[in-house]
Structure 1
Amino acid sequence: MNAAPARRLLARLRPYRWRVLSVAALAVGAVGVNVWVPRLLGMATDVVFAGVIGDTDIDFGRLALVLAATTVVCLVAGALQWVQARMLAEVVGQAVRDLRRDVEEKLHRLPVRYFDHHPRGELLSRVTNDVDNIAHGFQQVLGQLLTATLTLTGVLAMMLVISPLLAAVAVVVIPLSVLITRAVAKRSQQQFRDQWRHAGSLHAHIDEIYTGHELVTAYGRWDEAGRVFADRNDALHRAAYRAQFTSGLIAPATMFIGNLLYVVVAVVGGLWVAAGTMSLGEVQAFIHYCRQFSQPISQIASTSNLLQSGLASAERVFDLLDAGERRPDPVAADRPRAPLGRVVFERVSFRYEPDQPLIEDLSLTVEPGSTVAVVGPTGAGKTTLVNLLMRFYELDSGRILLDGADLTTLRRADLRGRISMVLQDVWLFHGTIRENIAYGRPDADDEQVLRAARAASVDHFVRTLPDGYDTVLDADTGTLSAGQRQLITIARAHLADPKLLILDEATSLVDTRTEALVQQAMTALRAGRTSFVIAHRLSTVRDADLILVMDRGRIVEQGDHASLLAAGGLYRDLHDAHDNRPVTRP
């Protein structure tokens, strides 16, 4: 068993150590009181037995006193156990709450590169299912292990008081049970890792298929998707079965050993009662203690599956928490200068994979208020260029300046507070249209939201909806068309009022008629702002101040629309291919 996840989980209780100590003290009190119950019941049996076989009547006064003491002991033990369980639930709940918070904060510190290499569904499985499994296992295992260990100690002490020889026989159960538990746990730990790995794979497939259900339907791939689901579901079933079956062997094995102990004690105790070396009440109490002695061992064994499953989930969660983080913001960050929107790329080089060069030695200066269009074939590095400007990725070499400040000397929040992005992939959250427009500027009033909506040609179609701006949307809403959803994101950028605007295929989902309206809105939006426009439709970038033509990470051409057409290079090829005209060169 890998002890590192267990130690790290227990370390999360350190901020609550005084309450943990209180839980332990309550457990000691509850167990210490509770172990007297069999002894008291044995004393009551001796009182009855002495009256039945002796020359005197049953001493009902003494019997009533013993039974009253037993009742009080049971009530005190129950009250202590109730308080202990409640306090333990609070401590574990708060520790798991802190774990969820740390996971959430970690996700914000992870670089974009990490998300590129991990499926979204698999990450969601770690954040939700694995943390839930840790919470369940933490609560069950921690409480039972504490109580079981104390009970084992207390019962063994009482057994030694009654009969050291029989207690020595009972102690043999402990090493046998430990050996069985260790042997099975070592095998089941890996099987639980496989179970949660297959669970993450299945959730990643489900997320992928149902996110793209329209595309799957359009291509008629539901049968194939169903087969993949069935394969991964069967793999998860087999892994879960093996893990549960293997870990489940511990409880019956230890119970079998406990039953053997019970038989030995009953036979030997009966012989000693007949010989007069032990009283009937002592034998009865010892048999009760044997049951109590076997119970915590079986309890520890029965929780091993929860323990192994929880530790497997903990490994996955701690693997996420241990992942490399993005470069932290500088401690003495530059203060943002007056926002102008001047952008300079100085000999920038970047590659996603070490052995696959993309952008090499790129230099570029963009003056404030100008519109720069970036065009080129797929994979040329267009989107990468603006991702570097947003500092989603770190440069391999070179630097990028915004208004004279190196991006690495600015806090990311200050940098991104000056920039708005409108992407090809529309993102709307569950909320009203008004809330979605105001996402980048939550303090905006209704009039400001309305002006942004009008500028982006949103107001007209919103007023045709029954609830207007109070219409509730979500990420997959069918209330609006793709073009209307895109217009809302454009209105969102308009309201944010940035000095630097990035439009990544922002009009790709808009029909021809709506495109004309959007172009007008974009022209107004770009006024006085530096704008980077990534486009495949060259008709959308004709009026750009500067058009950059990229190919294989390099700027191969630059100029305005007319000069680039006249040059007869790659831009001309792209233009003619878009218009379905033969490529001709002057």
Structure 2
Amino acid sequence: MELFKKFTKYYKPYRFLFYMDLFCALLVSLIDLSFPLILNILNRGVFLGETENIIKTIGYVGIALLAMYVVRYFAQYFITSWGHIMGARMESDMRRDLFSHLQKLSFSYYDKNNTGDMMSRIVSDLFDISELAHHGPENIFMSVLKLSGAFIILLLLNFKLTLILIGVTLGMILFSFYRNKKMRTIFMDNRLKISSVNSRVQDSLAGVRVVKSFVNEEYENERFEESNRRFLDSKNKSYRAMGGYMAGNSFFQGLFYTIIITVGGILIAKGELVATDLALYVLYVNIYMNPIELLLNFTEQFQKGYAGFRRFTEVLDTEPEIVDALDATDLEQVNGEIEYRDVSFSYEDSVKVLDHISVKIKAGETMALVGPSGGGKTTFCSLLPRFYEVTGGSILIDGRDIRSLTLNSLRSAIGIVQQDVYIFSGSIKDNISYGRLDATDEEIKEAARNANIHEFILSLPEGYDTYVGERGTRLSGGQKQRIAIARVFLKNPKILILDEATSALDNESEKYIQESLERLSQNRTTIVIAHRLSTIRNADEILVLTDEGVAERGKHADLLQIDGIYARYYNMQFEGIEGNINAEHNEWH
């Protein structure tokens, strides 16, 4: 019932269309039921009269029937067109709600769920739900009307014969109920298997450059074939179940006609039924059987829609782990002072990534984080905008616990430049303006100048309107990085996080980007995750994070004097550069 209530709420904005759809279904059902009755009246009255009277009456009957079927035409048109439009609008509303809810979910949800599966829920599942939303009430309503109408008339025509048919109908209902329970499980499995196929496709196509570079097309084909085969096996099970269901009900339909002929023949022989009434009885049995066939065909649609809606509600019922507190207030007039107060964090079912970290960064200062992979540097930064929630301690901005702030105001105050830049499909202008959607063209250009990318953009045939391709495939790594920096310039946050923003770039690109980052960092509180230690020598404080916590902290010169982990990392990089220079010198001579 809870699932049913959630489903029916999507009908509320379209109540007029819904009721009109049912009204048109009523008209179609009544017209279909009336034809055998009209024929019976003509047989018993009009056709037994004089020729002139028959011809005169049949003209009026023909006009009346024509009018009825004109009405039926428009009613059927409404059912087929506007009924489907109602279903499509409901599908659109569900897709909007699902997408909106996915935007609210925390990073932890995306850590555990595959994009392909989410795409399957947004596209395939919702299509099946919309078909159920349209055809479900309409088919049930028409079936109930026709079944009950035909049943009453059949009782009036011959009570004994109809009682026998009731027994067959009950057997058919029990059989259908039993088979439906089996099919429900199978169709749910269908949904899971097609999600697996979508996940495999999405994963392979997103990494197609890696696939081709390692010549692993055959391996990807094999992995896809495995998912595809499992889906095929699941479909085979569903079709076998449907085959047994349809064949069983087809047998019951045949049983109906067998009983009508045998029992009807006996009743005619006894004088309890006339042959013309048996013919009329058969006509109404056809009307009686029609909604049963409709419901049988509807069963597969119902099972698919039901399975899809269950998966749909599973997502909507997933509560975001990180939400605004009830008394949350906006972060206004940001100075940028940051304090990590005895902060601990661990992912689900894993050891602690951060353990009792206490750090204070004054407004406008720059703190650099260095250390081995897995030491918690990225996690340290991800906790500040509340992408993840601390499991111990607290983080403060300007003396206020970030959990007491609204997420929108908190994240608006923080700009992030990552190593793995995400470029949206669209133009360069679209991607820069993502930093502030209401920015003017001049503000976008100014941000590009600050990011050292303006001249390059102007050199392109379409300038700022140049299409960048999916994930920016038409741009180099350095160009994508500078667009990301321009995006943050446009956002103009008081707090900046630089997550290894230059680690994957060539020396020339790094030079341009380092200039941009230094310009971006001015008058902002900045946290830098550094791969190349030469870029953080001027940091106000350097924090060395390892899997055991804060191993060292201090300024560049002080940490070199300690001659610990930082000094070892720095000397390794410096010696590496020296070694490369000597090697090139020797090769030259």
TM, length-normalised to structure 1: 0.92
Please report how far the alpha carbon of residue 44 of structure 1 lies from its aligned counterpart in structure 2 after TM superposition. Answer: 3.2
Instruction: Name 1:215's counterpart in structure 2.
Output: 210
Give the distance between the partners of 2:470 and 2:570, measured in 1 at CA: 34
Kindly provide the CA deviation profile for residues 123-174 of structure 1, in whole angstroms up to 9, marking residues without a partner as x: 2211222112211233233322221122111111221222222222322232
Higher mean alpha-carbon deviation, 133-142 vs 267-276, is at: 267-276
Which residue of 348, 359, 369 corresponds with 2:354? 359
Give the distance between the partners of 1:251 and 1:276, measured in 2 at CA: 37
Instruction: Name 2:29's counterpart in structure 1.
Output: 31
Give the distance between the partners of 2:156 and 2:59, measured in 1 at CA: 24
Higher mean alpha-carbon deviation, 245-254 vs 156-165, is at: 245-254
Which residue of 226, 231, 234 corresponds with 1:236? 231
**Which amino acid letter does the alignment assign opposite residue 38 of structure 2?**
L
Please report how far the alpha carbon of residue 272 of structure 1 lies from its aligned counterpart in structure 2 after TM superposition. Answer: 5.2
Cα distance change of structure 1 residues 166 and 60 upon mapping to structure 2, 3 Å threshold:
farther
Which residue of 310, 323, 326 corresponds with 2:321? 326
| Matched-pair contact (CA < 8 Å) for 2:33–2:146 | yes
Give SS of 1:463's match.
Answer: helix
Give the distance between the partners of 1:32 and 1:140, measured in 2 at CA: 19
| Matched-pair contact (CA < 8 Å) for 2:91–2:130 | yes
Give the distance between the partners of 1:451 and 1:65, measured in 2 at CA: 81
Kindly provide the CA deviation profile for residues 538-566 of structure 1, in whole angstroms up to 9, marking residues without a partner as x: 12222222111100162211112222122
Which residue of 521, 529, 551 corresponds with 2:524? 529
Instruction: Name 1:226's counterpart in structure 2.
Output: 221
1:90-489 mapped onto 2 (5 Å cutoff):
90-269=85-264, 277-489=272-484
Kindly provide the CA deviation profile for residues 274-323 of structure 1, in whole angstroms up to 9, marking residues without a partner as x: 77654554333211111111111121112111111111111111111111
Give the distance between the partners of 1:202 and 1:234, measured in 2 at CA: 9
Give SS of 1:348's match.
Answer: strand
Give SS of 1:330's match.
Answer: coil
Higher mean alpha-carbon deviation, 268-277 vs 531-540, is at: 268-277
Please report how far the alpha carbon of residue 259 of structure 1 lies from its aligned counterpart in structure 2 after TM superposition. Answer: 2.5
Instruction: Name 1:40's counterpart in structure 2.
Output: 38
Give SS of 2:323's match.
Answer: coil
Runs of 5+ unmatched residues, structure 1:
none
Please report how far the alpha carbon of residue 45 of structure 1 lies from its aligned counterpart in structure 2 after TM superposition. Answer: 4.0
Runs of 5+ unmatched residues, structure 2:
578-589
Please report how far the alpha carbon of residue 273 of structure 1 lies from its aligned counterpart in structure 2 after TM superposition. Answer: 5.7
Instruction: Name 2:509's counterpart in structure 1.
Output: 514
**Which amino acid letter does the alignment assign opposite residue 566 of structure 1?**
Q
Cα distance change of structure 1 residues 516 and 56 upon mapping to structure 2, 3 Å threshold:
closer
**Which amino acid letter does the alignment assign opposite residue 200 of structure 1?**
S
Instruction: Name 2:582's counterpart in structure 1.
Output: none
**Which amino acid letter does the alignment assign opposite residue 32 of structure 1?**
L
Give the distance between the partners of 1:570 and 1:439, measured in 2 at CA: 39
**Which amino acid letter does the alignment assign opposite residue 480 of structure 2?**
R
| Matched-pair contact (CA < 8 Å) for 1:248–1:305 | no
| Matched-pair contact (CA < 8 Å) for 1:266–1:287 | no
Kindly provide the CA deviation profile for residues 204-253 of structure 1, in whole angstroms up to 9, marking residues without a partner as x: 11111111111122222221111010000011111112113312432332
**Which amino acid letter does the alignment assign opposite residue 488 of structure 2?**
A
Give the distance between the partners of 2:114 and 2:389, measured in 1 at CA: 21
Please report how far the alpha carbon of residue 380 of structure 1 lies from its aligned counterpart in structure 2 after TM superposition. Answer: 0.4
| Matched-pair contact (CA < 8 Å) for 2:552–2:559 | yes
Please report how far the alpha carbon of residue 500 of structure 1 lies from its aligned counterpart in structure 2 after TM superposition. Answer: 0.6
Cα distance change of structure 1 residues 20 and 166 upon mapping to structure 2, 3 Å threshold:
same
Give SS of 1:368's match.
Answer: coil
| Matched-pair contact (CA < 8 Å) for 1:372–1:532 | yes
Give the distance between the partners of 1:91 and 1:226, measured in 2 at CA: 40
Cα distance change of structure 1 residues 4 and 194 upon mapping to structure 2, 3 Å threshold:
farther
Give the distance between the partners of 1:296 and 1:252, measured in 2 at CA: 17
Give SS of 1:314's match.
Answer: helix
1:497-576 mapped onto 2 (5 Å cutoff):
497-552=492-547, 554-576=549-571
1:46-125 mapped onto 2 (5 Å cutoff):
46=44, 50=48, 59-125=54-120
**Which amino acid letter does the alignment assign opposite residue 37 of structure 2?**
R
Please report how far the alpha carbon of residue 355 of structure 1 lies from its aligned counterpart in structure 2 after TM superposition. Answer: 4.3
| Matched-pair contact (CA < 8 Å) for 1:380–1:552 | yes
Cα distance change of structure 1 residues 182 and 7 upon mapping to structure 2, 3 Å threshold:
farther
Cα distance change of structure 1 residues 267 and 49 upon mapping to structure 2, 3 Å threshold:
farther
Cα distance change of structure 1 residues 453 and 427 upon mapping to structure 2, 3 Å threshold:
same
| Matched-pair contact (CA < 8 Å) for 2:86–2:134 | no
Cα distance change of structure 1 residues 283 and 63 upon mapping to structure 2, 3 Å threshold:
farther
**Which amino acid letter does the alignment assign opposite residue 339 of structure 1?**
V
Which residue of 555, 562, 573 corresponds with 1:578? 573
| Matched-pair contact (CA < 8 Å) for 1:44–1:281 | no
**Which amino acid letter does the alignment assign opposite residue 179 of structure 1?**
L
Give the distance between the partners of 1:207 and 1:576, measured in 2 at CA: 43
Higher mean alpha-carbon deviation, 329-338 vs 190-199, is at: 329-338
**Which amino acid letter does the alignment assign opposite residue 341 of structure 2?**
E
Kindly provide the CA deviation profile for residues 28-86 of structure 1, in whole angstroms up to 9, marking residues without a partner as x: 343233311112123334468747xxx98983334444444433333334433434455
**Which amino acid letter does the alignment assign opposite residue 460 of structure 2?**
L
Higher mean alpha-carbon deviation, 41-50 vs 29-38, is at: 41-50
Cα distance change of structure 1 residues 13 and 174 upon mapping to structure 2, 3 Å threshold:
farther
| Matched-pair contact (CA < 8 Å) for 1:122–1:204 | yes
Aligned residue pairs: how many?
577
Please report how far the alpha carbon of residue 325 of structure 1 lies from its aligned counterpart in structure 2 after TM superposition. Answer: 1.7
Cα distance change of structure 1 residues 477 and 343 upon mapping to structure 2, 3 Å threshold:
closer
Give SS of 1:30's match.
Answer: helix
Kindly provide the CA deviation profile for residues 412-454 of structure 1, in whole angstroms up to 9, marking residues without a partner as x: 1101111111111111112221221121112222222222212
**Which amino acid letter does the alignment assign opposite residue 40 of structure 1?**
I
| Matched-pair contact (CA < 8 Å) for 1:273–1:280 | yes
| Matched-pair contact (CA < 8 Å) for 1:31–1:77 | no
Cα distance change of structure 1 residues 139 and 558 upon mapping to structure 2, 3 Å threshold:
same
TM, length-normalised to structure 2: 0.92
Cα distance change of structure 1 residues 150 and 316 upon mapping to structure 2, 3 Å threshold:
same
**Which amino acid letter does the alignment assign opposite residue 314 of structure 2?**
D
Higher mean alpha-carbon deviation, 507-516 vs 252-261, is at: 252-261
